[in-house]
C-alpha cells in the first residue's frame, strides 16, 4: 500500500501544492553555492508556504522575479510595519527603523528627509571619502601578499564609511565591529539583543550630543527633519540613524564577499577590468544582479489571494532577492557572470522602499574592485583554502582568504 507523508498541520486553509515542508535556510545552504541552491525554488508556484523560514516560523516565500517585483510594488498587501528586519529583536515595542518599517503614505514623509543626501549627485560628494577609506584599509595589508578579505577589508569598509558619514569617532571602529558581530552572528537571541541594545545606547548618547551642534551634513538633515511640520520623535531619530548603520553593513560586506569570491576564480575577468576600467560600472551592475544578499520580510496586511496563494492578514512573507537575481525568465543563463548583459535587477528592491544607499553601495563596491585590481595581479584563493558563508536574513560571507602578486 502506498504511504503518503502526513500533511503539515500549519495553515490548514493552504492547499497542499503550496506547502513546502522544508527549512529555507538549510535549503539555501545545500551544495557549495547559496545563490545556485536558492534558485532551485524557481519553477515552484510563485508563492509557496515554507515550514521554517523566518526564525523558525512559517512564511510565504516568493519564488521568482516577477512575483517579488509585484510584491515590492504592492505595499497595501505586503506591509513593512513590524515583521520587518528589526521586528522583535530590539525588545522595544515603540522602536521602528525609519523609514523601512513604515508603509506609504507615512513612509514617504520620513524618506523625504534622507533622500536629498542619497541622490546620485549628492552621493558623488562621498566618492573622495570612500576612496580614501578603501586606500587606507588596503594599505594595511598591501605588502603582505594576501589577506582574509572579510575581516581585513569587507567588514571594515562599510563600518568606517558609516562612522565618517555620521561624524562618529573612528577609534570606535573595533567596538562597532564587535557589536556588529554580536548582532549578526550572536549565538542566541539574548546575545543579539544585548549587542543591538549596546549600539542603540551608544547611538542615542551620540545623537543627544549632536543636538547642540550636528557634526556632519547627514546628522544636520536628520536632526532638522520635520514630519507634518514637527521635529521627528527622539525614538524615530534613533531609528533613522540605526537603520543607516544596519542597512549598509552586512549588505555591503556580504555583497563584496560574494563578488570577490567570484573574481578570485575568474582571472580573465580580472584582466578585462584592469585593461578596460570603463567597463567597471557595468561590472558592478552585473555583480549586484548576480549576487543579491537581502531577503526583505513583509507582513500580509489583508486577507487576499495573491498569485494563487490564499494570504491571511498577519502572515509573514519573504522576498529573497537572491532568487530573483537568478531567474532565467529575466536573465538568460542566469548563473553566468556576463558584464555585457543589460542587468536591471531588484537586488536593491523596487517601489517605495528602493534602497536609499544604492548609489553609495555601488560606489563602495566599485572603489573596492578598482583598489584591488589596480594594485594586485592574480588575485586568488590560496591552494587548500576555502571560503565560508552563511544563509539567513541576509546571505553572508564569513571568511574569504585571498592572495595575489603585487604589480
Ligand atoms: C550592496 C549593498 C546593499 C544592498 C544589497 C541593499 C539592499 C536593500 C534592500 C533590498 C532594501 C529594501 C528593504 C525592504 O524593502 O524592506 C534596502 C533598503 C534600504 N537601504 Fe539598502 N542595501 C545596500 C546598501 C545600503 C547602504 C550602504 C545604505 C546606507 C547608507 C542603505 C540604506 C538603506 C535604507 C535607508 C533603506 C530603506 C529605504 C526605505 O525604506 O525607503 N543600504 N536596501
Question: Once rounded to an integer, what is the mean pLDDT over residues 351-365?
Answer: 98
Q: What are the sequence ranges of the domains in the chain?
A: 16-406
* pLDDT tens per residue across span 93-139: 578 999 999 999 999 999 999 999 999 999 999 999 999 999 999 99
Q: Report whether residue 252 contacts ligand 1, using a CB cutoff of 6 Å.
A: yes
Cα 358 to averaged position of ligand 1 atoms, centre (Å): 7
Cα gap 406→348, rounded to integer Å: 34
Q: Is the pLDDT of residue 1 over 50?
A: no
Mean pLDDT of the 37-49 span: 98
Sorting pLDDT into bands at 50, 70 and 90, what band is 10?
A: low
DSSP-derived secondary structure for 268-326: HHHHHHHH-GGGHHHHHHHHHHH---B--EEEE-S-EEETTEEE-TT-EEE--HHHHTT
What SS3 class is residue 333? Answer: coil
Class of 16-406 in CATH: mainly alpha
pLDDT in tens, 301-321: 999 999 999 999 999 999 999
**pLDDT tens digits, 186-206:** 878 888 899 999 999 999 999
Q: Is 58 in the pocket of ligand 1 (CB under 6 A)?
A: no
Q: Which atom of ligand 1 is nearest to the CA of 288?
A: 1
Question: For residues 183 and 185, what is the distance between their CA atoms, to the nearest angstrom?
Answer: 6
Q: Which atom of ligand 1 is nearest to the CA of 297?
A: 16
Q: Among 117, 247, 293, which residue has the most ligand 1 atoms within 8 Å of its CB, making it the best to mutate?
A: 247
Q: Are 154 and 256 in contact (CB under 8 A)?
A: yes
Supply 140's cell numbers.
594595511
* Single pTM value for the model: 0.94
Q: Ligand 1 in contact with 348 (CB < 6 A)?
A: yes
pLDDT tens-digit series, residues 217-268: 999 999 999 999 999 999 999 999 999 999 988 899 999 999 999 999 999 9
Chain segment 137-185, per-residue pLDDT in tens: 999 999 999 999 999 999 999 999 999 999 999 999 999 999 988 988 7
Q: Is the pLDDT of residue 84 over 90?
A: no
| Percent share of the chain, pLDDT over 70 | 95
Residue 275 has pLDDT above 90, yes or no: yes
Taking the C-alpha atoms of residue 90 and residue 108, their distance in angstroms, rounded to an integer, is 24
The predicted structure's pLDDT at residue 94: 73
The grid coordinates of residue 75 equal 505595499
Q: In the prediction, which pLDDT does 271 show?
A: 97
At which residue does the C-alpha cell 532577492 appear?
Answer: 321
Do 85 and 246 contact (CB within 8 A), yes or no? yes
Does the C-beta of 86 come closer than 6 Å to ligand 1? Answer: no
CA 65 to chain centre: 17
Q: How far apart are CA 355 and CA 373, in angstroms?
A: 27
Query: What local confidence, expressed as pLDDT, does residue 342 receive?
Result: 86
Assess contact for 250 and 167: CB atoms under 8 A: no
Q: Please give the distance of CA 38 from its chain centroid, rounded to a whole number.
A: 16
Q: Is the CB of 294 under 6 A from ligand 1?
A: yes
Rounded distance from Cα 356 to ligand 1 centre (Å):
6
Burial class (CB in 10 A: 0-12, 13-18, 19+), 344: exposed
How many angstroms does the Cα of residue 12 sit away from the middle of ligand 1? 35
Confidence of residue 90 (pLDDT cuts 50, 70, 90): low
Are 278 and 284 contacting, i.e. CB atoms less than 8 angstroms apart? Answer: no
Q: How far apart are the first and last CA of the chain?
A: 70
Q: Which residue has its alpha carbon closest to ligand 1 atom 36? A: 355
**Three cell numbers, residue 367:** 572603489
- The pLDDT-based confidence of 86 (bands split at 50, 70, 90) is very low
Return the residue whose CA atom lies nearest to atom 4 of ligand 1. 251
pLDDT > 80? residue 89: no
What pLDDT does residue 93 have?
Answer: 57
Q: What is the pLDDT of residue 248?
A: 86
Strand 47-54 and strand 57-62: the pairing is antiparallel
Model pLDDT, residue 85: 43
Report the alpha-carbon angle 44-387-23, nearest 5.
Answer: 30
CB 114, CB 221: distance < 8 Å:
yes
Nearest to 245 by CA among 210, 277, 212, 206: 206
Q: Given the CA of residue 100, which atom of ligand 1 is nearest to it?
A: 40
Q: Could you give the 3-state DSSP secondary structure of residue 162? A: helix
Residue bearing the bigger pLDDT, 258 or 86: 258
355 CA to centre of ligand 1 in angstroms: 4
pLDDT at 2 over 50: no
Amino acid at each position: 500500500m502506498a504511504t503518503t507523508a502526513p500533511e503539515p498541520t500549519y495553515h490548514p486553509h493552504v492547499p497542499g501544492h503550496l506547502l513546502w515542508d522544508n527549512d529555507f535556510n538549510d535549503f539555501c545552504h545545500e551544495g557549495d553555492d547559496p545563490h545556485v541552491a536558492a534558485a532551485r525554488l524557481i519553477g515552484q508556484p510563485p508563492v509557496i508556504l515554507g515550514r521554517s523560514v523566518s526564525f523558525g516560523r512559517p512564511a510565504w516565500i516568493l519564488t521568482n522575479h516577477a512575483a517579488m517585483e509585484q510584491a515590492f510594488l504592492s505595499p497595501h498587501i505586503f506591509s513593512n510595519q513590524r515583521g520587518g528586519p528589526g521586528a522583535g529583536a530590539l525588545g522595544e515595542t515603540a522602536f521602528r527603523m525609519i523609514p523601512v518599517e513604515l508603509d506609504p503614505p507615512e513612509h514617504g514623509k520620513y524618506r523625504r528627509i534622507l533622500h536629498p543626501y542619497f541622490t546620485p549627485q549628492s552621493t558623488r560628494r562621498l566618492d573622495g571619502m570612500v576612496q580614501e577609506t578603501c586606500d587606507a584599509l588596503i594599505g594595511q595589508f598591501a605588502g603582505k601578499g594576501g589577506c582574509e578579505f572579510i575581516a581585513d577589508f569587507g567588514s571594515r569598509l562599510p563600518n568606517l564609511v558609516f562612522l565618517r558619514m555620521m561624524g562618529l569617532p573612528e577609534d570606535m571602529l573595533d567596538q562597532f565591529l564587535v557589536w556588529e558581530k554580536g548582532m549578526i552572528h550572536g549565538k542566541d537571541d539574548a546575545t543579539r539583543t544585548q549587542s543591538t541594545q549596546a549600539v542603540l545606547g551608544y547611538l542615542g548618547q551620540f545623537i543627544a550630543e549632536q543636538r547642540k551642534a550636528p557634526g556632519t551634513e547627514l546628522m544636520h538633515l536628520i536632526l532638522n527633519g520635520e514630519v507634518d511640520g514637527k521635529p521627528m520623535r527622539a525614538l524615530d531619530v534613533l531609528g533613522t540613524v540605526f537603520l543607516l548603520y544596519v542597512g549598509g553593513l552586512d549588505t555591503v560586506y556580504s555583497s563584496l564577499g560574494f563578488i570577490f569570491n567570484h573574481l578570485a576564480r575568474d582571472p580573465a575577468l580580472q584582466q578585462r577590468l584592469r585593461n578596460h576600467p570603463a567597463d567597471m560600472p557595468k561590472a558592478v551592475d552585473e555583480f549586484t544582479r548576480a549576487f543579491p544578499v537581502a531577503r526583505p520580510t513583509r507582513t500580509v496586511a489583508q486577507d487576499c489571494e495573491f498569485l494563487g496563494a490564499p494570504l491571511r492578514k498577519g502572515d509573514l512573507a519573504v522576498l529573497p532577492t537572491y532568487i530573483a537575481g537568478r531567474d532565467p525568465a529575466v536573465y538568460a543563463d542566469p548563473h553566468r557572470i556576463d558584464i555585457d548583459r543589460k542587468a536591471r535587477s531588484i537586488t536593491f528592491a523596487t517601489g517605495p522602499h528602493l534602497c536609499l544607499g544604492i548609489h553609495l553601495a555601488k560606489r563602495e563596491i566599485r572603489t573596492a574592485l578598482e583598489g584591488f585590481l589596480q594594485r594586485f595581479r592574480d588575485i586568488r584563493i590560496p591552494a587548500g583554502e576555502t571560503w565560508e558563508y552563511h544563509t539567513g536574513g541576509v546571505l553572508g560571507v564569513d571568511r574569504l582568504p585571498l592572495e595575489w602578486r603585487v604589480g
